[in-house]
A and B are shown apart, each in its own frame.
Chain A
Amino acid sequence: MIVMREAFGNRLCVHYCGAQGSRMRNGRFFLHLMVALQLGAATMLAGCASQPLLPDAAPGLSFDPRAVARGAQLAAIGNCIDCHTAAGGRPYAGGRALKTPFGIIHGTNITPDSDTGIGRWSEAAFFRAMREGVDREGRHLYPAFPYDHYTKVTDDDIRAIYAYLMTREPMRAVPPPNKLPFPFNIRSLIAVWKRLYFKPGVFRPDPARNSEWNRGAYLVQGLGHCGACHTPRNALGAEKKTEYLEGGEAGGWHGPALTAASPAPVPWTAEQLHKYLRTGLDDLHAIAVGPMEPVVRNLATVPEQDVRAMAIYLAAIAGEPSPHRRKKAQDALAHARREEASYPFPDRTDHEAVGRGGDRAYQNGRAIYSGACAACHDQGRQPTSGAALHLALGTAMTIPTSANLVHLIMEGITPPDGDVGRFMPGFASELTNEQVRDLVAYIREYFGRAPAWYDIEDEVRKSRKELSERNGKAKG
Chain B
Amino acid sequence: MVTLNVNGQTHQIDTHPDTPLLYVLMDHLALNGAKFGCGLGQCGACTVLADGQAIFSCITPVSVLQGRRIRTLEGLGTIDNPGPVQRAFIEEQAAQCGFCIPGMIMRAQALLERNPSPSQAEIRAHMSTNLCRCGTHMRILRAVEHAAGAMRSGAASKESKR
Residues on A facing B (Cβ under 8 Å):
364, 367-368, 370-373, 375-376, 385-387, 423-425, 427, 429-432, 435, 473-476
Contact B55 A473 (CB under 8 A): no
Contact B63 A476 (CB under 8 A): no
Contact B53 A476 (CB under 8 A): yes
B93 interface hit (Cβ, 8 Å): no
Report the Cα distance A372→B64, complex, angstroms: 10
Contact B18 A371 (CB under 8 A): yes
Report the Cα distance A476→B110, complex, angstroms: 5
Interface code B111-151, partner A: CB below 8 Å = 1, 0 otherwise? 10111001000100110010000000000000000000000
Contact A429 B42 (CB under 8 A): no
B3 interface hit (Cβ, 8 Å): no
Q: Which residues of A contact B64 (CB under 8 A)?
A: 368, 371-372, 430-432, 435
Contact A425 B63 (CB under 8 A): no
Q: Which residues of A contact B122 (CB under 8 A)?
A: 474
Report the Cα distance A425→B55, complex, angstroms: 10
Report the Cα distance A425→B42, complex, angstroms: 7
| A356 → chain B closest CB, angstroms | 16
Contact B40 A376 (CB under 8 A): yes
Q: Which residues of B contact A474 (CB under 8 A)?
A: 111, 114-115, 118, 122, 125-126
Report the Cα distance A387→B38, complex, angstroms: 11
| B144 → chain A closest CB, angstroms | 11
Interface code B30-64, partner A: CB below 8 Å = 1, 0 otherwise? 00000000111110000000101111101111111
Neighbour of B19 across the interface among A364, A371, A373, CB < 8 A: A371
| B133 → chain A closest CB, angstroms | 14
Contact A364 B63 (CB under 8 A): yes
Contact B61 A368 (CB under 8 A): yes
- For B53, the closest partner residue in chain A by CB is A429
Report the Cα distance A435→B114, complex, angstroms: 24
Q: Which residues of B contact A368 (CB under 8 A)?
A: 61, 63-64
Q: Which residues of B contact A432 (CB under 8 A)?
A: 64
B98 interface hit (Cβ, 8 Å): no
Report the Cα distance A254→B19, complex, angstroms: 33
- For A376, the closest partner residue in chain B by CB is B40
Contact B17 A386 (CB under 8 A): no
- For B57, the closest partner residue in chain A by CB is A430
With A367-B17, A474-B115, A474-B118 known to touch, is A375 a contact of B60 (CB < 8 Å)?
no
Within 8 A of A (CB), among B56-86: 56, 58-64
Report the Cα distance A424→B38, complex, angstroms: 13
Neighbour of B56 across the interface among A367, A430, A473, CB < 8 A: A430
Q: Which residues of B contact A372 (CB under 8 A)?
A: 20, 59-61, 64
Going nearest first, the 4 A-B pairs with the smallest beta carbon separation are A371-B61, A476-B110, A425-B41, A429-B53
With A372-B61, A423-B42, A429-B53 known to touch, is A476 a contact of B18 (CB < 8 Å)?
no
With A473-B115, A474-B115, A475-B114 known to touch, is A371 a contact of B42 (CB < 8 Å)?
no
Neighbour of A367 across the interface among B61, B110, B114, B126, CB < 8 A: B61
With A430-B50, A474-B118, A476-B114 known to touch, is A371 a contact of B126 (CB < 8 Å)?
no
| B40 → chain A closest CB, angstroms | 4
Within 8 A of A (CB), among B5-29: 17-20
Q: Which residues of B contact A435 (CB under 8 A)?
A: 64
Q: Which residues of B contact A431 (CB under 8 A)?
A: 64
Q: Which residues of B contact A476 (CB under 8 A)?
A: 52-54, 107, 110-111, 113-115, 126
Report the Cα distance A464→B45, complex, angstroms: 25
Neighbour of B59 across the interface among A387, A430, A473, CB < 8 A: A430
Neighbour of A371 across the interface among B60, B113, B115, CB < 8 A: B60
| B68 → chain A closest CB, angstroms | 9
Report the Cα distance A370→B60, complex, angstroms: 10
Q: Which residues of B contact A429 (CB under 8 A)?
A: 50, 53-55
Q: Which residues of A contact B55 (CB under 8 A)?
A: 429-430
Report the Cα distance A385→B60, complex, angstroms: 20
Report the Cα distance A370→B50, complex, angstroms: 20
* Given A370-B61, A473-B115, 10 additional A-B pairs, CB 8 A: A367-B18, A372-B60, A372-B61, A375-B59, A386-B38, A435-B64, A474-B114, A474-B125, A475-B114, A476-B113
| A255 → chain B closest CB, angstroms | 28
Contact B63 A386 (CB under 8 A): no
